[in-house]
Structure 1
Amino acid sequence: MERRRWLQAAVLLCVLALCSGRELKIKRTPIYNSTLARTLAEYTSAVYTADLTQLFTWTCERCGDLTEGFEVIELIVDVKNCLQAYVGYASDMNAVVVVFRGTQETSVQNWIEDLFWKQLDLDYPGMPQAKVHSGFYSAYHNTTLRDGVVNGIEKTREAYGNIPIMVTGHSMGGAMASFCALDLVVNYGSKDVTLITFGQPRIGNAVFASHFNCYLPNAIRVTNAHDIVPHLPPYYHYFPQKTYHHFSREVWVHNVGLGSLVYSIEQICDDSGEDPTCSRSVSGNSVQDHLNYLGIGMHAESPGSCRIVTGANTVQCKMDNDGNIVFSKQPGLSADQLHSSQ
């Protein structure tokens, strides 16, 4: 029995070497930071908090561990389009963090079904032959999110200096995060933008992906096991210029092993955006794999209604004719100060 276990261990080591060989070669370049990815996954999980008061004051159940002490500056709720994002200051990383919420769990299945029929129908401004899906593009550019996010970033940088910007999101939130990061670089001239998304769908064609890689060469898309969403909208390899195409770089999280010996690896994929040895090597058929990343839940706590912050002395609340809301505060106010003013 002992000899058999040693043999299994030896085979597992060989499997790991084969699966992670590309990762070992790339380690000379700090293209992927596992700790940073886990940290941003926790920020992404927090955006699904049902109670907006707890999210805004960073006192929610998910607002701890690697994200403890975070300061929310701007919380944007687009009621009309069921979209949400927040911006704040992470003192431990000395960075602005921007987070976009993904599709609500109750509508994920319908959204996934719709993704099968998404069409490339919009020319991305300033990028000849680059086409994207107008729905993903508009969710960021043509709603209250863009102005709210940009305002939050500017406010945070005014208070804490010209610090780096980290943008993240899960599912459709990852699609919006990608357009946001590109927008910050192309249209606002930001130089230090980090993008890590989780389980995001394809958002444009190969030409768009090529442009995207030029502006954000170190962007990371984390995919999980058999998550169905990174496989959508479908990629038709017979029509590479007219089909959806992921930008690079993918990091595929999956299990490898033999028998009872199982090991989770984070495989760094090639720079094609469509590495056939990564998530494309398996069938994308799992919604459950879409709702959990790096051991962290990426779904709403409950379908309950949200409660809002009403402290008139510290919170400025703006509402437009469609009922969309932006909560904001001046940087430097602690959660205790927010609570004491209500």
Structure 2
Amino acid sequence: MSNCDGKTLAPMSISNDLYNDLVYYFKYASSAYTMPCLRPNGNHLVIEISNPLTDIQCFVARDDHRKEVVVAIRGSASVTDIVMDAQIALVPFISPGVKLPSGARVHSGFLLSWDSVAMQIVTIVGRELARYPNHSVVTTGHSLGGSLAILGAVTLQQNFETTSIRTYSYGAPRVGNKIFADYVNATFGDKAHRVVHGNDGVPTMIPTQFGYHHHGVEYWQYTHPPSEETTAKCNSEGEDLTCSASIPSQGVNLAHMRYFGILATTPFCF
């Protein structure tokens, strides 16, 4: 890794426990491509949710060992999804129960996709938290699903203010502008995990010149083999030019479709 002055920097590797968590929640994200997924990551399937107009598919699962309610959202898998991906105008974040700082803007296609399932997810998660008040909430997704996972985390945090909420995205594009990114960073801090594999071009496909800004914290698996020693924790501000943003976008490529040696559509449903 090197900084913008060309000086080599020692990457800040992560702990084994954190690395294992990044892999674990990727398995939920990967499983969201398979419906039905009867036992996501070996846990209890609460409900599967889909919207035929936006073609968004997701599930809510419950892990009573970790005491978590997990929302996993599928990435792009159809022409409809690609059309949503292309709607890059920045718009106010209008969603059930959400009130963000003035000037916060998000990707209009991602917001439309999220809002098509948001009320159902808020209702189901609320029901689960009423039954299991000591459970936390996790949102996760790959690619488009990762972008919706952060919108989901913001929505759920505002609807359930006393609940601990974490979010994990893998290969997700930029979601909103800097005001939105700053809000996410201030609200979630290290509870927002944004994972990038090598030269995956999707996270940088929407350029900052369009007004977009990544939220932190990025975890960049910058070389192989995948391990905690080859995964760097990047600057928490979001746009760390020594991490994946240092590589010009190559769009959807092989690195986008495989994380931690796992094909992004692999089901973990038993």
- Class of the TM-score when normalised by the shorter of the 2 chains: 0.7 to 0.9
User: Does residue 271 of the first structure (1) align with residue 236 of the second (2)?
Assistant: yes
Match of residue 185 from structure 1? 157
Q: Is the 8 A contact 1:250 1:268 kept in 2?
A: yes
Tell me, in whole angstroms, the C-alpha distance in 2 between the residues paired with 1:195 and 1:263.
21
Q: 1:108 to 1:231 in 2, by over 3 A?
A: farther
Q: 1:290 to 1:23 in 2, by over 3 A?
A: same
User: Does residue 245 of the first structure (1) align with residue 213 of the second (2)?
Assistant: yes
- Note the C-alpha offset of 1:232: 2.4
- Note the C-alpha offset of 1:126: 3.4
Tell me, in whole angstroms, the C-alpha distance in 1 between the residues paired with 2:100 and 2:258.
36
SS of 2:20's equivalent in the other structure is helix
- Indicate which of 280, 296, 299 corresponds to 2:265: 299
Match of residue 91 from structure 2? 121
Q: Is the 8 A contact 2:31 2:265 kept in 1?
A: no
Alignment of 1:128-147 (within 5 A): 128-141=102-115, 143=116, 145-147=117-119
- Note the C-alpha offset of 1:152: 2.2
Q: Is the 8 A contact 1:88 1:152 kept in 2?
A: no
SS of 2:249's equivalent in the other structure is coil
Tell me, in whole angstroms, the C-alpha distance in 1 between the residues paired with 2:93 and 2:120.
24
Tell me, in whole angstroms, the C-alpha distance in 2 between the residues paired with 1:195 and 1:293.
17
Q: In percent, how many aligned pairs have the same letter?
A: 26
Match of residue 48 from structure 1? 33
- Note the C-alpha offset of 1:215: 1.2
SS of 1:227's equivalent in the other structure is coil
Q: How many residues align?
A: 253
Q: Is the 8 A contact 1:196 1:222 kept in 2?
A: yes
Tell me, in whole angstroms, the C-alpha distance in 2 between the residues paired with 1:149 and 1:202.
23
- Note the C-alpha offset of 1:110: 5.2
Tell me, in whole angstroms, the C-alpha distance in 1 between the residues paired with 2:258 and 2:214.
21
- Indicate which of 89, 93, 99 corresponds to 2:72: 99
SS of 1:191's equivalent in the other structure is coil
Code of the residue aligned with 1:156 in structure 2: it is E
User: Does residue 148 of the first structure (1) align with residue 133 of the second (2)?
Assistant: no
Q: Is the 8 A contact 1:186 1:215 kept in 2?
A: no
Code of the residue aligned with 2:126 in structure 1: it is E
Tell me, in whole angstroms, the C-alpha distance in 1 between the residues paired with 2:141 and 2:54.
17
Q: Deviations over 1:77-111 (max 9, x none)?
A: 1111110111111123121111011100x549956
Superposition CA RMSD, Å: 2.7
Alignment of 1:1-342 (within 5 A): 18-20=9-11, 22-23=12-13, 33-49=18-34, 51-52=35-36, 55=37, 57-58=38-39, 63=40, 67-68=41-42, 70-104=43-77, 107=79, 115=86, 118-122=88-92, 125-141=99-115, 143=116, 145-218=117-190, 219-236=192-209, 243-255=211-223, 265-285=230-250, 286-299=252-265
Tell me, in whole angstroms, the C-alpha distance in 2 between the residues paired with 1:19 and 1:111.
40
Code of the residue aligned with 2:107 in structure 1: it is H
Q: 1:187 to 1:280 in 2, by over 3 A?
A: same
SS of 2:72's equivalent in the other structure is strand
SS of 2:237's equivalent in the other structure is coil
Q: Deviations over 1:281-315 (max 9, x none)?
A: 123215211111111221378xxxxxxxxxxxxxx
Q: Is the 8 A contact 2:61 2:70 kept in 1?
A: yes
Give the number of the structure whose alpha-carbon radius of gyration is greater.
1
Greater shift in the superposed pair: 171-180 or 278-287: 278-287
- Note the C-alpha offset of 1:155: 2.7
TM-score (norm 2): 0.84
Q: Is the 8 A contact 1:226 1:279 kept in 2?
A: yes
Q: Is the 8 A contact 1:157 1:163 kept in 2?
A: yes
Q: 1:110 to 1:159 in 2, by over 3 A?
A: closer
Q: Is the 8 A contact 2:92 2:103 kept in 1?
A: no
- Note the C-alpha offset of 1:160: 2.9
Q: Which runs of 5+ in 2 are unaligned?
A: 1-7
Q: Is the 8 A contact 1:123 1:129 kept in 2?
A: no
